[in-house]
Every structure is written in C-alpha cells, then in structure tokens.
A and B are shown apart, each in its own frame.
Chain A
C-alpha cells in the first residue's frame, strides 16, 4: 500500500512540479506571481477536451494545437496586461492576475458550464503488476513525461543561447539588457513556456481528477510548492512539487482524510519554520 501511494505521490508531484516551475519561470522574468496560472491550465485542458472529445481530433494532433494555444495565451496576457503593470506595485500585479483568472474561469463556464467532465487517458490500460506493486500506466506515463519535459527545459536553459540569455535576465535585468539580451522577447518567452507547462500538467491531471472549472485551484498549492522549494528557484519548485505530492498521497494513511486538503499548507509552515527561505532559497538583503 505504502509503495503504491508513493508512486501515486510521484505522479501527483509531477503535476505540481510542472505547474510550479511554470509559475517560477514567469516570476523570474517579469516579477509577477501569476495567480491565474491554474486557470491557464484549466482552460487549456478544456480546449484539449473540445478538440479530442467534442470534435474527435486524435490526441496526437490535438496536443500541438493545445500547447500552441496555451503559449499564445501566455504571450497575450504578458503583452497586454502584465507589461503595463510591471513597474507598478505588487498588489496591482496580484490583483491583475487574479482578474485574468476570473476572466478565464468565466470564459470556461460560459462555454462548457461548471459541470464535471471525464477526460480520456493519454496512457490507457488497467493496473500493471511490477514486482508485486500495482501501478497504472497513467502514473508511469505522467512521471516519465514530466521527466522528459524537465530535461528538455534544463537543456534549453543551459545549452542554448536563448536559455542562457534568459538565465542572465533573471540574475540581473539591467546587465542583461546592456549585454544585448532582448528583454521584452524574454518576458513573452517565459509566459509562453509557463503556459505550455500548465497545459501539459492539465492534460496529464484531468484523466485522474476529472475536468472542471474548479481545477484552477491548483494555483495555490503550486505556489506553496514553489515557496517550499525556495521561491524563485526552478529546481526548488521541482523539489517542492514532489515533496507536496508525496506527502499528500502518503499522509492520508495516518490522518483523517478530511484533513488531506491542508497537508501542503502544514508542510509549508514546517519548512518555513525550519528554513525561512525555503529549501534552496537564499536570503536577500534589502539595500537602503
């Protein structure tokens, strides 16, 4: 039972990691904590649902369209809402992203209503028995896909010129601009990647959790994962995502299941109590 739940946790953790990493990328580039990130995920998944279930497009063709849609959505939001507010205060940006979340929610419920929909599995099939442990192809598929996506992202950030430019931007915006890094294109790029990661997460999550407008609540859990890992650190977000995923799957063995919802938060408080900057975070000193 324990091992099975652990594998479940890895699968859930993969989703959290994907969503969290997207949040952090967006934050690193534009200093905006995107409270609508979960809504990006939700609406992209609905688009996938529309294509695959409502219009009968095969998964293989539907997925590039969905990823393109979510990337475009990210770019549009960055260009028309975030960029105008970037010099403004933190509350203004938080409120604006909350507003975008409302809009996406409203759009989805207008088109698809607030009902719950079954979403087809990308990795179909019943349990497989590996050394006495029963796992679903779905969880294996989720974990493997996430690893592939993360590896691609890692290679992109470390091996390509664009990726290096992006990392330079996150460390020192002014210096990066002086070195000829195209800053505004980087902002758009970060939001596009964030959108794509959210869409992947949504398509992976929907078969097990069902599809509904309520899916977007994942934003808050994902932010907690990012903070647990050390806010602003991509690898921190991955660690945080898996930690939260594993703990939320295993702990219900020992506590009343009603309390499952607050596990990420309790984990967050415990980590911050031990290490106020999160696991990989470093202390910043405010200059005056």
Chain B
C-alpha cells in the first residue's frame, strides 16, 4: 500500500501552538528525509526553538501531527521520544552541571542499559559488565568529538566551546537516528564553527544520522544543509535547497533583507 519509496525521518503536518493567546506556531509542515541535513532558519521569535520543543515533546502541540520514522509521536512525552531514537541539544546549554563529562554522557546511556534496581543495590557482575559496555561506547563518542581529555572533569569547570561539544556528545550517546541541534554554532569563533561544520558532516556521513538544526550563522547553514525551511512569525514562508531559499524574495524581505550586512560579516 505504501506508495512512497522511503518514510520521512521526521514529518510535521499543520503543527500549531499558542502561549497566552499569541500564536507561536501557526500550522507548520515539513518533511525531513533520512540522512538529510535539514536547517530551520528565521528571525528571532520566529518559533524555531518552539518547534524543537514540540518535536522533542517538551511542549504539546495544540493542533497537527508529528511523525518520527512513520510513528506518531504527537502526544508522547520527551523520554518516550528519546527512546525512539531522537537526541537533541539546547539553545542555552543544559548540561548536568554538577556531574563529570563522562557521567553526562553515561546519563544518556540510561536507555541502553536495563539492569534492575535490586541488582544495582547488590552490585552484581551483570551490572558491572553493562556499565563497562556503556562506558566503552561513551569512550568512542568522546574520542570522536575529541573530548576524552576532559572525561573526569566537572563540566562547570570547562569552557563554553568544550561544553557545547559535550552536549553534542551527550545527544550522540543516545545513539539516535535523528539529532536536533539548536544553534550549535552560537558563541563559537570562525575556526570552531568550521570544525563544527565538519563534525556535523561526519555525524551524517560516518554515523549515518539525520540532522535537523536551527542556526543563525548563514554561511554555515548554506554550506552544509541539503534543504532549508524558513520560519517567520510562526509560519513557513519558504522551503527548499539553499540556493532556492536564498533567491526567494519573501525570505530576503523577512530575513536576509534586514540582516544582509550582519549575515555577511
């Protein structure tokens, strides 16, 4: 019956939400294909982060449906969505600040371990071997992101760019099929942003993940994204390949027009 060759990794149809009578999102729809790098852009207050929070289950949509690998996740809670294989980072870092780097990543291994409370109390061999497996995977991720040297440091003591990589690592430790990145380049300098672009490409090419990102850094968005959706005032005003979006007069008016000088610096 299924006529489509592939199920979209993520599909939003007519998603809407309002806060105190103000429409934050007014019926947005988009399809993200598997292994695509997909960007959502738009001026401040366009509703980008709200969209992430709805996808991740932090907010509940007032209308519309959300499908993740074909499964309806509209009404699921954040932890249930994470279990289905969706990882995310946050606009303002949300690390577990009083834990070490390794523990932060290990916390994301929660869903991959299934020891019982009772065996944890006793500290059985099963618990230890599971811990070791999880630790090994965390080790791999830390070396992928080049943060092994901070493994036992408390995240509070580390610099902002490193913290951003830790948060990315924590999301990867979930072993998700889709990862949501909320302004990954914000606060990074030119070199760090270039490294980040490479990392995101590697996450897609080597690890085979689908990437959905919100970003203000236009040069980065244009260079790594396969497709872009532009939001303004809670509505989709354009969608397509980077060149198409860049040429779209509505986009230029709503966003690039006002921001050109900023975006080019």
Contact = CB atoms under 8 A, between A and B. Distances in A.
B19 A288 contact: no
A172 to B, nearest CB: 16
B92 A285 contact: no
Interface size class of B (residues with CB under 8 A): under 10
B91 interface: yes
A285 B90 CA distance: 16
A285 B24 CA distance: 13
Secondary structure dominating the interface of A: loop
Contacts of B92: 288
A285 B58 CA distance: 10
B76 to A, nearest CB: 17
Nearest to A288: B90
Nearest to A89: B98
A49 B92 CA distance: 54
Contacts of A285: 19, 59
Contacts of B53: 288
Interface string B211-225: 000000000000000
A285 B50 CA distance: 12
A288 B183 CA distance: 12
Interface residues of A, number: 2
A285 B94 CA distance: 16
B98 to A, nearest CB: 10
Contacts of B94: 288
Contacts of A288: 49, 53, 58, 90-92, 94
Nearest to B88: A288
B46 to A, nearest CB: 16
A288 B59 CA distance: 11
A285 B49 CA distance: 14
Nearest to A286: B58
A288 B92 CA distance: 7
A277 to B, nearest CB: 14
A285 B60 CA distance: 12
B141 to A, nearest CB: 22
B44 to A, nearest CB: 14
A288 B90 CA distance: 7
Interface of A: 285, 288
Interface of B: 19, 49, 53, 58-59, 90-92, 94
9 contacts: A285-B19, A285-B59, A288-B49, A288-B53, A288-B58, A288-B90, A288-B91, A288-B92, A288-B94
9 nearest A-B pairs in the assembled complex, by CB-CB distance: A288-B90, A288-B94, A288-B58, A285-B19, A288-B53, A288-B91, A288-B92, A285-B59, A288-B49
